[in-house]
Amino acid sequence: MTAYLAGDSAAFRELFSRYGAVLERVMRHRLHRPEDARDLVQQTFLQLHRSRHDFRAGALLRPWLFTIALNMKREYFRRAGRRPESPLELDGHGDPGVAPRGHEQVEATEEVRFALGKIPEDQRDVIALHWLAGIPLPEVASLVGASLSAVKVRAHRGYAAMRHVLKGRRGNLDEG
Amino acid sequence: MDCVDIKETVLRGESLSWEAAQHVAACPVCSLALSEQQATASDESLFTDIRRAIDEERGVRAWLRSRPTNVRFALGAGWALAIVALVALLTPRTHYAPMPFAEVAVVLAVLSALGVVALRLELHPLQAPEPSIVAVAGCFAAVLVAPALLAFAPVPQAALFDHYTEFSPPQAAFGCFFIGVMTGVLVVAGLRALDRRTSHSRIGVLVQAAAGAIAGNLALELHCPITRPSHIVFAHATVSLALLALYEFLPRRRAA
């Protein structure tokens, strides 16, 4: 980020390589259409560019970037006036930006999104950042604006709820 | 050991214990996490789109909203004060009646404090946690109520001014309302140039209407000599409602 501020345009490519894919993954779990997720990722990096002079050398970029992303997502839902839709379609199909994936991976991703869609929003945000983005819980706490203990409680409850959802879903599939 | 502990272990780069491995084998969430494909490699077309959007960030507005937040705040405050001062210079209150300085000072102090809050909410950086809807709604409610409450503040006898001789009360009310709204519109236009958001949510509109209304009421306090409470309530305090209608409801009706 410091290099980018100094005018090194290649540094922006490095930033995108490091965070673009994981940001898109986090966005996709809430949004039905891949193009909406891509649009939000694009807006996040655009906001990063606009906010670059607020960045202090030596600060951590990841919490900065993910806070922007979460705020953009909330703004998106307020503008659209809608709640996150249940992601029922398989991921990766018809999306030119995603390489063809094995059936098992596609099914696994679909199960992830199904389970995430069934849990409360505050738990979903924590698990998306912790599980999909791989962000440690102390950092997740600062991103969502809650205490570490509150975030741990949400994570525990969220994972437990997802286990319950997945067991129920797999049971229904087996019966079917 | 549960899913949270296992994920934290993986994030620390540590290997899983036997107990953790047993959990993973039995847990649908953890086993799913291991089998789900990792995020795809960086999408070249997405990078191209982002790069194009950044390259289009040119001109005065792009420069303004890329300034550090404290600079944007100073510019926004300076712009608002400049507009208010211009209105006060063009249509001074003292032309009609002596200005009750103590009362005006109190009103200006209260409105300025609200103005600082509104400005902070309007120009808050997106890399900081978002202000709560309660804070935003509270700010707008305070902007709506403050001029109405201040209308009933005591005024020195010498400064009492009930109505113009050359304008009827409705004409005077409309004149003040128009000046307040136009001041607010000019201030909001400047604040939007500093705002980094690409489009405006309802929360953003509420804050902008509040900021514009504060500027409008500041200008009216320096312009309007009428101390009759009914005039202040119906001609000054309603500026915030008019701005909210202008920025929230009219665009929605047009879009519909």
Name the closest residue on chain B to residue A98, using Cα atoms.
B40
Confidence (pLDDT) at B76: 96
Confidence (pLDDT) at A85: 46
Confidence of residue A154 (pLDDT cuts 50, 70, 90): very high
CB atoms < 10 A from the CB of B255, how many? 6
Buried/exposed A121-141: b ≥16 CB within 10 Å, e otherwise: ebbbbbbbbbbbbebebebbb
Q: How far apart are CA B216 and CA B246, in angstroms?
A: 14
Q: Which of B188, B179, B189 is nearest to B219 (CA)?
A: B179
Average pLDDT, integer, range A160-170: 82
pLDDT in tens, B89-117: 998 887 777 777 888 888 899 999 999 99
Q: Give B63's contacts in chain A (Cβ within 8 Å).
A: none
pLDDT in tens, B117-173: 999 999 988 888 778 888 888 988 998 888 888 888 877 776 777 777 788 888 999
Fold of A1-85: Rna Polymerase Sigma Factor; Chain: A (1.10.1740)
Q: Give A45's contacts in chain B (Cβ within 8 Å).
A: 50, 53-54
- Percent of chain A with pLDDT strictly greater than 90: 12
SS3 breakdown of chain B: % helix, strand, coil, rounded to 5? Answer: 70, 0, 30
- Burial (CB count within 10 angstroms: exposed 0-12, middle 13-18, buried 19+), residue B159: middle
Give ∠ CA A153-A156-A158 in degrees, rounded to 5: 105
Confidence of residue B70 (pLDDT cuts 50, 70, 90): very high
Confidence of residue B237 (pLDDT cuts 50, 70, 90): very high
Q: How far apart are CA B39 and CA A101, in angstroms?
A: 11
Residue B212 has pLDDT above 90, yes or no: yes
Confidence (pLDDT) at A44: 92
CA distances from A147 to A126, A142, A150, B115 (A): 12, 8, 5, 31
For residue B249 the two structure tokens come to 């409801």
CA distances from B134 to B121, B130, B203, B245 (A): 12, 11, 10, 20
**H or E segment and range at residue A134:** none
The reply to whether A43 touches chain B by the CB within 8 Å rule is yes
pLDDT in tens, A57-101: 888 888 888 889 888 888 887 777 654 444 433 333 333 344 444
For residue B38 the two structure tokens come to 């990792």
Residue B215 has pLDDT above 90, yes or no: yes
Confidence (pLDDT) at B78: 97
Q: How far apart are CA A33 and CA B93, in angstroms?
A: 57
Confidence (pLDDT) at B154: 78
Q: Give B25's contacts in chain A (Cβ within 8 Å).
A: none
Asked if B87 and B222 touch (Cβ cutoff 8 Å), the reply is yes
The beta-carbon neighbor of A54 closest among B127, B197, B198 is B127
User: Residue type for A67, please?
Assistant: T
Domain with CATH 1.10.10.10 in chain A: 102-176
Confidence of residue A104 (pLDDT cuts 50, 70, 90): low
Q: Which of A121, A106, A109 is nearest to A70 (CA)?
A: A121
Fold of A102-176: Arc Repressor Mutant, subunit A (1.10.10)
Confidence (pLDDT) at B25: 78
**Which residues are within 8 A (CB) of B59 and not within 5 positions of it... i.e. 6 or more apart?**
none
Q: Give A101's contacts in chain B (Cβ within 8 Å).
A: 37
Cα maximum dimension of chain B: 92
- Burial (CB count within 10 angstroms: exposed 0-12, middle 13-18, buried 19+), residue B90: exposed
Confidence (pLDDT) at A113: 75
Q: How far apart are CA B64 and CA B68, in angstroms?
A: 9
Confidence of residue B39 (pLDDT cuts 50, 70, 90): very low
Residue A54 has pLDDT above 60, yes or no: yes
Q: Do A163 and B29 touch (CB under 8 A)?
A: yes
CB pairs under 8 A between A and B: 142
The beta-carbon neighbor of B37 closest among A52, A64, A105 is A105
Mean predicted lDDT score pLDDT of chain B = 85
Average pLDDT, integer, range B184-202: 87
DSSP-derived secondary structure letter, A8: -
Q: How far apart are CA A29 and CA A23, in angstroms?
A: 10
The reply to whether A145 touches chain B by the CB within 8 Å rule is yes
Tokens 């899913």 -> residue: B3
Domain with CATH 1.10.1740.10 in chain A: 1-85
Listed by number, the residues of chain A in 76-105 with a beta carbon closer than 8 Å to a beta carbon of chain B are: 78-79, 96-99, 101-102, 104-105
The domains of chain B are located at 3-35, 69-255
DSSP-derived secondary structure letter, B151: T
Greatest mean pLDDT among A24-38, B64-78, B147-161, B198-212 lies in B64-78
Greatest mean pLDDT among A124-133, A149-158, A161-170 lies in A149-158
